[in-house]
Amino acid sequence: MATPVEGIKASSGHLRGSLVEELADGMSTFPLESGHLLKFHGIYQQDDRDHRGELARAKRTLAYSCMVRCSVPGGLLRPSQWFEIDRLADVGDGSLRLTSRQGVQYHFVHKGDLKELVGSLNRGLVTTYAACGDVVRNVMVSSAPDAGRDLGRLDSLARALANRFRPQSAAYWELWLDGERAVSAGPIAESDDTTEPIYGDSYLPRKFKVGIAWPGDNSIDVYSQDVGLVLVPNADGELGAVVLAGGGLGRTHKDATTFPRLGDPMVWVPDRDIADVVEAMVGVFRDEGNRDDRSHARLKYLVEARGIGWLRQEVERRLGRSFDDPIALPAWGRAREHLGWHHQDDGRWYLGLPVPSGRLLDTKETKRRTAVRQILERYANEIRLTPHQDLLLCGIEEADKAAVEALLTELGVPQAKHLSLSVLSSMACPALPTCGQALGEAERVLPELTDLLDQLLVERRLADVSIETRMTGCPNGCSRPYVAELGIVGRTKTAYDLFVGGSPGGSRLAVLLVESVPFSKLEDVLAPLLERFSQSRTDGEAFGDWADRLGVAALAVGLPTFQRSSVAS
């Protein structure tokens, strides 16, 4: 039987529901049913988890507010767009949260402020439409403007896919712009009763993720996408892409039928066919995906059950064309090579600025928001959001580099060269207090974890070792812990599952090593693990490769165990 969400979508009149009335009703919250529709508009209604218990005990209304997410194809923004995003930060809690899918989030936005926020973003040519919901989400791109990279091709493909898969319903403009569709960051539907040509009345069974990688740069974790595209020419030099399908990382504790999965290479397609092939794959998911159980409603479960060959046949049948076999991909570099100064093709420079956990705000000591704004006002000509929640400030003249560095120093903003490798190679999801799914902390305790890693690495003369580390507050895996060298996944309010063995380039899954480790006991696991790593790694061997070489059974010997349950990874 289809889930209740299916009924809500189908009867919503293409994402309208009662949202117009509810926005004007003077109440501080939306009904729960409307929450499912709000997601398509880029909005999650959440409650402050720090105060949930006490409010519930006192039988008072929970402290509701909204998270609002901007969809930024490929993470590319012009300065004018950024200035509007930045100006509006104070509508929420004063911070901007850069996401692991190259978007931007506002937290703690009150219902009464939503219209001003979303409307103003659109007037600044930034959209929130389809940033969440059961549609194709923000299209990711290997975004660094490195010399030799065809960035124009990457950017235009990201924009083309984003436009093609944006919902067509005019509900978005009716709600947030009083029908002023000319003011819009997205494509404009031609009529008010459009039939959603790609999605139909019920949209997709669940979210669908697309990412485009440049050969050698797997910063987008292309194997974790429902559809991953790697832009490689064929043997004749014709431009095109290897299409990967069936990646996805979310899982559910205590349910071994849910699991992270890497995408499989399916076909090589020429540039002219890429968008059609992706649309055919979206169509297969729309028609065949599981609408009875949202925890199994991802393309990866279809591919796992029926095989990549079945998906290829289905796509070729729908398009009436056949495609070439996938070609071998070049090796991937480390996931984060874009921090610090790098040369662009046009002779200018970009600065990769680390933003720990993607949290951009001004504090008394560190004024990151101000610094980014001023660099864009004076020195840079575009800004790119990375898949690791950092920023690339692009188009800086050689002559301005010193001034940029002086400005950062004046505003107390550390550059990559001032931070430890543990800080630079770690990422956490927001988790508590805002995420409704969070079982435990992530972003707020990440500094403690990186301090611990720094200390353990220095003690073992491993200070020059970078370990790609991802932490989440639940098994959904928003910061992609299952393709990290070290993944730390929230299991309860205070305990975490430890995964190890992902490759530095993100092309291998990590596996579960120890379950239910209390945060305060992480050192008891990490210290002996890193001790053995220091003793038995081969010259220059990465932590993830070492862990994979030894295997979980050998690594687990001598490690403490903690109240194990019967959960499979």
Contacts with ligand SF4, residue ranges (CB under 6 A): 429-431, 435, 437-438, 442, 472-474, 476-478
Active site residue 207: yes
The strand ranges marked E within 131-271 are 140-141, 210-213, 227-230, 240-245, 264-270
Q: What sections of 496-551 are H helices per DSSP?
A: 522-536, 543-550
Q: Is the dihedral of CA 358, 362, 364, 367 positive or negative?
A: positive
Cα 229–Cα 97–Cα 493 angle in degrees, nearest 5: 100
- Of 221 and 362, CB closest to ligand SF4: 221
Q: What is the C-alpha separation between 197 and 169, in angstroms, rounded?
A: 10
Catalytic pick among 69, 149, 251, 491: 69
Q: 88, 360 in Cβ contact below 8 A?
A: no
- Of 407 and 435, CB closest to ligand SF4: 435
Q: What is the C-alpha separation between 154 and 507, in angstroms, rounded?
A: 21
Catalytic pick among 367, 368, 474, 537: 474
- Of 226 and 264, CB closest to ligand SF4: 226
- Of 250 and 395, CB closest to ligand SF4: 250
If phi > 0 it is left, if psi is from -120 to 50 it is alpha, else beta; for residue 440 that is beta
Active site residue 564: no
Active site residue 137: yes
Q: How far is the CB of 462 from ligand SF4 (least distance, A)?
A: 28
CA dihedral 224, 228, 231, 232 (to 10 degrees): 80
Active site residue 435: yes
Q: How far is the CB of 444 from ligand SF4 (least distance, A)?
A: 12
Q: What is the DSSP pairing of strand 382-385 with strand 76-77?
A: antiparallel
Q: How far is the CB of 432 from ligand SF4 (least distance, A)?
A: 8
Q: What sections of 107-191 are H helices per DSSP?
A: 114-123, 151-165, 171-177
Helix, strand or coil, per DSSP, at residue 75: helix
- Of 166 and 491, CB closest to ligand SF4: 491
Q: What is the C-alpha separation between 264 and 225, in angstroms, rounded?
A: 10
Active site residue 429: yes
- The pairs formed by 536-540 with CB atoms below 8 angstroms and a separation of 24 or more are none
Catalytic pick among 39, 207, 286, 491: 207
CA 332 to each of CA 64, 154, 224, 261, 436: distance values in angstroms, whole numbers, following the listed order: 43, 18, 14, 18, 35
Q: How far is the CB of 470 from ligand SF4 (least distance, A)?
A: 10
Active site residue 478: yes
In sequence order, the β-bridge partners of residue 214 are: 217
- Of 279 and 441, CB closest to ligand SF4: 441
Q: Is the dihedral of CA 90, 92, 93, 96 positive or negative?
A: negative
Catalytic pick among 312, 478, 491, 532: 478
Catalytic pick among 39, 49, 101, 209: 209
Q: What is the C-alpha separation between 335 and 255, in angstroms, rounded?
A: 30
Q: How far is the CB of 137 from ligand SF4 (least distance, A)?
A: 13
Q: What are phi and psi of 295, to 5 degrees?
A: -75, -15
In sequence order, the β-bridge partners of residue 227 are: 210, 245
- Of 95 and 184, CB closest to ligand SF4: 95
Q: How far is the CB of 446 from ligand SF4 (least distance, A)?
A: 12
Q: How far is the CB of 258 from ligand SF4 (least distance, A)?
A: 13
Q: How far is the CB of 238 from ligand SF4 (least distance, A)?
A: 39
Catalytic pick among 300, 429, 480, 537: 429
Element at 23 (helix H, strand E): helix 19-23
Cα 151–Cα 398–Cα 422 angle in degrees, nearest 5: 70
Active site residue 69: yes
Q: What is the DSSP pairing of strand 511-518 with strand 426-428?
A: unpaired
Among the listed residues 154, 126, 149, 266, the one whose alpha carbon sits nearest the alpha carbon of residue 212:
154
Catalytic pick among 435, 470, 480, 537: 435
Q: How far is the CB of 428 from ligand SF4 (least distance, A)?
A: 8
Active site residue 521: no
Contact partners, residue 363, CB within 8 Å, separation at least 6? none
Overall residue count recorded for the chain in this entry: 569
Q: How far is the CB of 434 from ligand SF4 (least distance, A)?
A: 8
Which amino acids are annotated catalytic?
69, 137, 207, 209, 429, 435, 474, 478
